[in-house]
Amino acid sequence: MKQERVLMASDMNDYFNKKKSEGGGFNKQSNSGGGNSGGPKGPQMPNMDFNFGGGKAGIMYVIIGLVILLVLAKPFTIIQEGERGILSTNGKYQEQALLPGLHFIIPVIQKVYVVDTKVRIINYANRIETNSNASGIITKPAITVLDKRGLPVSIELTVQYRLNAQYAAQTISNWGFSWEDKIINPVVRDVVRNVVGKYDAESIPVLRNTIAAAIEEGIQKSIKSLKNSPVILQSIQLRDIILPAKVKDQIERVQLAKQEVQRAEQEVQRAKQEALKREAEARGVAQQARIEAQGKADAVTIEAQANAKANVLIAKSLTPKLLQLEQMKVQTKFNDALRENKDAKIFLTPGGSTPNIWVDMKDAKQRTTAK
């Protein structure tokens, strides 16, 4: 570009030097109808040629000049995805934000401010994380609040949010470009103080889920109550609760005491279970013995009843003739015995109520009963 400007100036200098050598400077025109051509003439307008060495070269110079003007003035802007453009005309913001894409503006009069509408994060923590310097991640000190008794408690949490793209222009117009420090940070700290201040420090860890839900609900409600909903909250996560050292020691002692009580209760329950187990086993043994005894008694009863029934049947079946027959059978057995032992003595009982008895006289101690 610099070389083209040097060539343009050189061409113009050559042109004017050539004209000067031919006519001595500017062209002089004679008066029409006048005879005295040598008289003094007034100054005339120079006859200048604006062709700049040819028509094509002139067009090229014009195009180059326009390109230079466009580059220097930059009458356009490009909005990336995840961003919105706030168009300012003479200091006044346009209500509708510019969408991603190419937009033309009027230089000097209009200006575009680009704002980020992607998800952003604020970490309230005492420890600086490794990614705290990444784009869209802000680290702030943990929120220190007073519990119900005035003891200091530190709350660490993470808030994910993004600028509402629909009302980005109104948000910047009302809150300015530091809208995060004016909207998110004050609301979060105020809600956390109000919620945690209702509880004792000792009960806060136990009620962690309840407190986390109350904090999220309070922040959501406060942000949504703002005009035009400038911010959309993605999530609110309660990360840690840091208690004073004295409170932590007290909680640990209470926890140890509770664990001892629970251990003792477990021992008592174990002893009760063992006693119940032994009692059940004893009941089982006793029940088994009763069942066995009852079985034996039932067996004896059944046998006795069977014998009684058999005796009744036998008694009913005995007739005089049958008795005589049986007596004859016995007598036959005695007769057979006498034939073998002639020294035996036989005692007969009348009526057949008792059996006949014979005694072997060779062996007075021997006695045989025949039925």
- Find the mean pLDDT for residues 257-279: 86
250 has a pLDDT exceeding 90 = no
Angle between helix axes 179-196 and 208-224 (nearest 10 degrees) is 140
Return the domain boundaries, the chain: 1-24+48-73, 120-243, 245-317, 320-369
334 has a pLDDT exceeding 70 = yes
Q: Which of the pair, 335 or 209, is modelled with greater confidence?
A: 209
- At residue 55, the pLDDT reads 67
Q: Which two tokens stand for residue 144?
A: 């220190």
Angle between helix axes 168-175 and 179-196 (nearest 10 degrees) is 80
Please report which helix (H) or strand (E) contains residue 152, including its range: strand 152-163
Q: Which two tokens stand for residue 293?
A: 């005894």
Kindly indicate the confidence band of residue 323, based on its pLDDT and cuts at 50, 70 and 90.
confident
- Domain 120-243: state its class: alpha beta
131 has a pLDDT exceeding 60 = no
Angle between helix axes 2-23 and 55-73 (nearest 10 degrees) is 140
Whats the size of the chain, residue-wise? Answer: 371
Average pLDDT, the chain: 77
Q: Which of the pair, 19 or 70, is modelled with greater confidence?
A: 70
- Distance in angstroms (rounded) separating the CA atoms of residues 356 and 345: 11
